[in-house]
Amino acid sequence: MIRLDKGNNLKKTVLYLRLSEEDRDKLTKEELSESIKNQELMLREYAACEGYIIVGVYSDEDWSGGDATRPEFNKMIKECAMGNVDIVLCKTQARFARDSELIEKYIHNKFHEWGVRFKTIVDRIDNAKRETKKTSQILGLTDEWALEDTSLNIRETFRSKRKDGQCTASFVVYGYLKDPENKNHLIPDVVTSTTVKRIFDEYMKGYGLDKIAKRLNDDKILSPLEYKMANGSKLKIPLLKKYFAYDWIDKAGTHIIDVNFKNKEDQVLNNLITYNYITTDMKNFNNKCDITLKSYSKDRTKIYYSEKEDLDIGKFNEKDFILIKENDIIPKTAKCIATITKELDRTHIIHYQFEIGLKENLKHEKYYFDIKGYVDNKKVNLEFAKNIRRKMKWSQQSIKKILKDEVYIGNMVQFKTTTVSYKNHTIIKNGDEDRIRKNNTHKAIIEPSIWYKVQERLKEKSRSSKNGTIQVFSNKVYCMNCNRIFSKCGRNFANGLGYLCCKDKNNSWANCDNKKWLREDELHNLVINKINNILDRFYDDNVLNKLNNEEIEQDIFNEKLNALKKEETKIIADLQNKRTYFQKLYEDRASGLLPEKEFLILMNKYKDDNAMLEDRLNIVKTKKHIFSKYRHIDKLNVEIINDFIDKVIIGSYDEEKNHRDLKIIWNFNI
């Protein structure tokens, strides 16, 4: 039974606010800072007039309305599904979503199922009133069209800028900054360009990639990713999600704990004290393992630590604590860390951060980070946003990426990757023919002669074994358990191949249970079969086996590749034609020439056709790139591995089943 009430009996109300990426081109910096506040003020006033009780406020900034991965949006949806919400209140439907699928899924289906009423103030959508459903669906469609057109316009604008040699990346490459006078032009970063020069210099002196990375980490130089984050970058990288969302710490290494708190209360909070501690049971303060903490005090917050065993956190006594400054090392004997903020205005934020180094964890204990909040020495239930993540350090891969990048000799190579569509954010690697190159676009950090010498050395140093056999899987095979690389271990066979095992072996298996070695020749054979299976799906072996003439066979290959190129062109044209056609249909609907029912039928068909065409376009692009180069693989080499494979992930060996999981991450969608 649907539980929707039109009266004021529905009390538990949540507000959803969103500042879209599209708004950033329309609003000034002052207007942007006020936009979210104004949305909240408007919704609070409306809720007060209607007698609704606000039980939650969810806000997504810098997120598109077509993105279903918005963090606050999904938290709100989860609360709705659990039955904790009666009303979702938004300024407009577009704030909730600009995707007609999300509109249909939640507003007109799931919300009814969960007994949730959806209301907007400006466009007056109310899913308890049937007469607003058609308006909601039409708004959803037009908003989605606008988003799609914006995406296409942005892509074309970016393509033109790239051809002109302008940098269109959201984040500039390590070593450079965006020119303050021209955001599409690069200038050397005084800090990081020095590190880039050091990397090239040490490599030319004979240091290996791993050695260079270790030296940089030992000197506490921030890795490219950490440097971006330290300078305010808001990263949204799906491939790195597993490094950014830990609930506890149980692996050796360095971790970062970020704590944020926003005062959402109606009044100023005085003498806000937080007690932070490491615990294995969520009850007691304990720091049994060898953990060091480094603090980064921000804004108006002071940080203290205490070594007192029987600490009474019910009342803060400054005599029990020692004040620490930013970057101070907190000793292992610390039992508790306290922060004090004398005054916190409404909507103001405090932020502090700890760096935790766990040297080993032989008992595989889980170390949690807990926070208890007090205001004027009274315990309060405050919502602290805390995030535990791995600290990203320099690695062989990050060093090699810098050494191979032409940007450091003043050349701009862009459009290396793309996404399937504005709705499907799956990343696709583009082939050399699709990449956009422009030379001498900015000041070089490295002399071209040095850069080209490095490229030659990188080719020569493709990790040869003692008998000269190239290790084609160098830096490609990783442990599924601890994410460390699988490296050579044990003796080699006559063909130069041997065994691979997790590098945690060098640490006496302190953090990894994946101890079983893997025969390198078995991995070669498995990958060759996988690649040939992919190639065989493109070429029809039943036909080719009947042909003995190589010229005829080659003609068939070329014919198939030409057919793919023609199909790609046709799909792009079909997508454009369909978009134009259905925009005309909407105009006919708006003018009354097309009945509502027929319009909705055509709308759904348009969405289905578009999805099918976009999926097919992705497949065609992938095939065109890879099959223009290969027909059949008999033996692996570095070039083949780099073309096909991003990484290979090796799981633990199951002795009972005589089996181990092995996952290949391809450079393209299969």
Residue 380: Cβ within 10 Å count: 13
Q: What is the pLDDT of residue 559?
A: 65
Q: What is the pLDDT of residue 424?
A: 64
**Residue 163 pLDDT grade (very low, low, confident, very high; cuts 50, 70, 90):** confident
**Residue 3 pLDDT grade (very low, low, confident, very high; cuts 50, 70, 90):** very low
Do 262 and 348 form a contact (C-beta atoms < 8 A)?
yes
Do 446 and 199 form a contact (C-beta atoms < 8 A)?
no
Q: What is the pLDDT of residues 459-471, one digit of tens each?
A: 765 554 444 455 7
How far apart are alpha carbons 323 and 313 in whole angstroms?
Answer: 16
**Residue 242 pLDDT grade (very low, low, confident, very high; cuts 50, 70, 90):** low
For the segment 616-623, the average pLDDT, to the nearest whole number, is 74
CATH topology of domain 12-137: Rossmann fold (3.40.50)
Q: What is the pLDDT of residues 296-326, one digit of tens each?
A: 655 678 888 888 887 777 778 888 999 988 7
pLDDT at 227 over 50: yes
For the segment 592-620, the average pLDDT, to the nearest whole number, is 77
For the segment 161-181, the average pLDDT, to the nearest whole number, is 86
Q: What is the pLDDT of residue 545?
A: 45
pLDDT at 35 over 50: yes
Q: What is the pLDDT of residues 10-25, one digit of tens each?
A: 579 999 998 865 554 4
For the segment 407-433, the average pLDDT, to the nearest whole number, is 77
For the segment 148-167, the average pLDDT, to the nearest whole number, is 81
Between 491 and 199, residue with greater pLDDT: 199
Which residues, 6+ apart, have CB-to-CB distance to 254 below 8 Å?
355, 356, 357, 358, 390, 391, 393
Q: What is the pLDDT of residue 26?
A: 46
pLDDT at 388 over 60: yes
Q: What is the pLDDT of residue 466?
A: 46
DSSP assignment of 563-632: HHHHHHHHHHHHHHHHHHHHHHHHHHHHTTSS-HHHHHHHHHHHHHHHHHHHHHHHHHHHHHHHHTT-S-
**Residue 47 pLDDT grade (very low, low, confident, very high; cuts 50, 70, 90):** very high
- DSSP secondary-structure letter at 280? S
To 5 degrees, how large is the angle CA 466–CA 468–CA 470?
110
Give the 3-state DSSP-derived string for 290-344, with helices as H, strands as E and coil as C: CEEEEEEECCCCEEEEECCCCCCCCCCCHHHCEEECCCCEECCCCCEEEEEEEEE
Q: What is the pLDDT of residue 541?
A: 47
Q: What is the pLDDT of residues 433-477, one digit of tens each?
A: 778 888 999 999 999 889 988 988 887 655 544 444 557 887 789
Which residues, 6+ apart, have CB-to-CB distance to 634 below 8 Å?
528
Max avg pLDDT among 30-44, 104-118, 495-509: 104-118
Q: Provide the β-strand partners of residue 412.
A: 438
For the segment 513-522, the average pLDDT, to the nearest whole number, is 89
For the segment 651-663, the average pLDDT, to the nearest whole number, is 88
Q: What is the pLDDT of residue 549?
A: 41
How far apart are alpha carbons 14 and 55 in whole angstroms?
Answer: 6
For the segment 620-637, the average pLDDT, to the nearest whole number, is 80
**Would you state the structure tokens that stand for residue 472, as one six-digit string?**
């084609």
How far apart are alpha carbons 316 and 377 in whole angstroms?
Answer: 7
How far apart are alpha carbons 228 and 240 in whole angstroms?
Answer: 14
Burial class for 591, CB neighbours closer than 10 Å (0-12, 13-18, 19+): exposed
Share of the chain above pLDDT 70, in %: 85
Q: What is the pLDDT of residue 13?
A: 94
Do 528 and 633 form a contact (C-beta atoms < 8 A)?
yes
Between 126 and 237, residue with greater pLDDT: 126
Domain 239-390 has CATH 3.30.310: no
Do 624 and 512 form a contact (C-beta atoms < 8 A)?
no
For the segment 625-653, the average pLDDT, to the nearest whole number, is 84
- As assigned by CATH, the class of the 176-221+394-456 domain is alpha beta
pLDDT at 548 over 50: no
pLDDT at 80 over 80: yes
What separation, in Å, do the N-terminal and C-terminal C-alpha atoms of the chain show? 44
Share of the chain above pLDDT 90, in %: 21
**Would you state the structure tokens that stand for residue 603, as one six-digit string?**
């709308």
DSSP assignment of 463-516: -B-TTS-B-TTTTTEEETTT-PBEEEES---TTS--EEEEGGGGGTTSS-----
How far apart are alpha carbons 262 and 257 in whole angstroms?
Answer: 17
Tokens 């934020």 identify what position?
Answer: 349
How far apart are alpha carbons 173 and 178 in whole angstroms?
Answer: 10
pLDDT at 360 over 60: yes
Of 284, 295, 368, nearest in space to 326 by CA: 295
Q: What is the pLDDT of residue 670?
A: 61
Q: Parse the chain into domains and list their residue ranges.
A: 12-137, 176-221+394-456, 239-390, 462-536+639-666, 540-630
For the segment 123-145, the average pLDDT, to the nearest whole number, is 88
Q: What is the pLDDT of residue 560?
A: 66
**Residue 244 pLDDT grade (very low, low, confident, very high; cuts 50, 70, 90):** low
- DSSP secondary-structure letter at 439? S
For the segment 633-638, the average pLDDT, to the nearest whole number, is 87
How far apart are alpha carbons 66 and 382 in whole angstroms?
Answer: 31
**Residue 546 pLDDT grade (very low, low, confident, very high; cuts 50, 70, 90):** very low
Q: What is the pLDDT of residue 459?
A: 76
Cα radius of gyration (the chain): 29
**Residue 554 pLDDT grade (very low, low, confident, very high; cuts 50, 70, 90):** very low
Do 89 and 43 form a contact (C-beta atoms < 8 A)?
yes
Instruction: Identify residue 306 by its one-letter amino acid code.
Output: S
How far apart are alpha carbons 250 and 365 in whole angstroms?
Answer: 6
DSSP assignment of 93-110: HHHH-S-HHHIIIIIIII
For the segment 419-433, the average pLDDT, to the nearest whole number, is 70
